[in-house]
Amino acid sequence: MKAFLIDRYGKKETGHIDDAPTPALRDDDVLVRVHAASVNALDTRIRTGEFKAILPYRLPLILGNDLAGTVERVGAGVHEFKPGDEVYARVEDDRIGTFAEFVAVKAASVARKPGNLDMMEAASLPLVALTAWQALVETARVKPGQKVFIQAGSGGVGTVAIQLAKHLGAFVATTTSTANVAWVKDLGADVVIDYRQQDFAKELRDYDVVLNSLGKDELFRSLQILSPGGHLISISGPPTPAFATARGLAWPVKQVMRLLSHRIRSKARQRGVDYTFLFMRADGDQLGEITALVESGALRPVIDRVFPFQQTESALAYVESGRTKGKVVIEMR
């Protein structure tokens, strides 16, 4: 099969399309013929080697974390899917490789594609929608009437998180650039902070939940807008000892994470709020819940651009530029 691979980690590594063996099928796997895969910031960070301590992949490595496609074959222990089924998934983080013609993924990580979406639209959702779900539903347990601040509202996670928070009954604030203010309001945001002209830490008060996806400065300033008992959830770090324990990481790695997150954890305790680092996981059951929301009209995908497979490197570069408005998708077929 054809696949997009990297041979080494590094900021200058571009990757290339080459031949690769079709993945072996385990008893609890489905082999999916990939129709489309989305590009996430996680892909660019894996390529630079940022997650080597957490995700020790073997090189050469096929990139890509989520997909939409059709089931080609199923493992001996799989009964809920059959060849020809249209599915979508975020693959397990130790078995990435969706920038390829085929990928093997655990059946437990797969869900049926929403019937009202095409393959491009479906491929744009799994990683970002699961991130939003695990942050707002599973971790924060957002309730109607609560106030939720979602940073970077025009980004891949932000566009879905705004919609999900509104579905949960929250009052939603977000940040974006001047050109996108009206656009994110249309997604459901009640308050939009134009970060080019306003400081969210001065404009917002008494929020229950913050979903941080930006840098250290925004992370610490987010504490200022939270009410006591609030929850700061970060998908951009720093990781915590609790995360290391949950991942079963080695003791030295856990101690590094303890040091990296010490300041934000201390500041959060001083203000009486919780801090959680979230590294989303594959979950087919949760993706099935998301399918229902999509089919009901509560969630809709937001696609910026679609690139052909031959331009995968350009798609990665575009995401890395930070100028995307929604998701970037690679069309395999």
pLDDT band at residue 157 under the 50/70/90 scheme: very high
> Which one of 277, 292, 310 terminates a domain?
277
Is residue 262, in this structure, part of any structural domain at all?
yes
Residue 322 scores a pLDDT above 90: no
Q: Which two tokens stand for residue 309?
A: 């497979």
13, 6 contact by CB (below 8 A): yes
Assess whether 255 and 305 both reside in one domain.
Answer: no
Question: For residue range 3-31, what is the model confidence (pLDDT) as tens digits?
Answer: 999 999 998 888 999 999 999 999 999 99
Percent of all residues in the chain with a pLDDT value above 70, rounded to a whole number: 100
Question: For residue range 74-84, what is the model confidence (pLDDT) as tens digits?
Answer: 999 999 999 99
Assess whether 260 and 317 both reside in one domain.
Answer: no
Assess whether 258 and 139 both reside in one domain.
Answer: yes
Per-residue b or e along 155-183, where b marks 16 or more CB atoms closer than 10 Å to that residue's CB: bbbbbbbbbbbbbbebbbbbbbbeebbeb
Pairing mode of beta strands 226-234, 274-277: parallel
The pLDDT assigned to 210 comes to 98
The pLDDT assigned to 226 comes to 98
Assess whether 173 and 273 both reside in one domain.
Answer: yes
Assess whether 198 and 169 both reside in one domain.
Answer: yes
CA distance 325 to 305: 9
Length of the chain: 333
Per the prediction, the chain carries an average pLDDT of 96
The pLDDT assigned to 323 comes to 83
Is residue 287, in this structure, part of any structural domain at all?
no
Assess whether 91 and 221 both reside in one domain.
Answer: no
pLDDT band at residue 56 under the 50/70/90 scheme: confident
Question: For residue range 260-275, what is the model confidence (pLDDT) as tens digits?
Answer: 999 999 999 999 999 9
> Of 6-20, 49-63, 96-110, where does the model show the most confidence?
96-110
Residue 279 scores a pLDDT above 90: yes
Residue 107 scores a pLDDT above 90: yes
The pLDDT assigned to 135 comes to 98
CB atoms within 10 A of CB 332: 25
107: domain CATH number is 3.90.180.10
Assess whether 150 and 172 both reside in one domain.
Answer: yes
The pLDDT assigned to 54 comes to 86
Query: Which amino acid, 41?
Result: A
Sheet holding 16-19, edge to edge: 16-19, 2-6, 61-62
Q: Dump strand ranges (E) for 136-247.
A: 147-150, 171-176, 191-194, 207-212, 226-234
Is residue 288, in this structure, part of any structural domain at all?
no
pTM above 0.85, yes or no: yes
Q: What is the mean pLDDT of residues 225-238?
A: 97
Q: What is the mean pLDDT of residues 130-135?
A: 98
Is residue 291, in this structure, part of any structural domain at all?
no
The pLDDT assigned to 312 comes to 98
Query: Which amino acid, 6?
Result: I
Residue 244 scores a pLDDT above 90: yes
The sign of the CA dihedral 291, 294, 295, 296 is positive
Q: Which two tokens stand for residue 218?
A: 């925004």
Assess whether 165 and 239 both reside in one domain.
Answer: yes
DSSP letter (8 states) at residue 57: P
293, 299 contact by CB (below 8 A): yes
Q: Which two tokens stand for residue 101?
A: 């013609």
Assess whether 158 and 265 both reside in one domain.
Answer: yes
Residue 52 scores a pLDDT above 90: no
Q: What is the mean pLDDT of residues 220-249?
A: 96
Residue 98 scores a pLDDT above 90: yes
Is residue 290, in this structure, part of any structural domain at all?
no
Q: Which two tokens stand for residue 33?
A: 């013929």
Full domain range(s) for residue 87 = 2-124+301-331
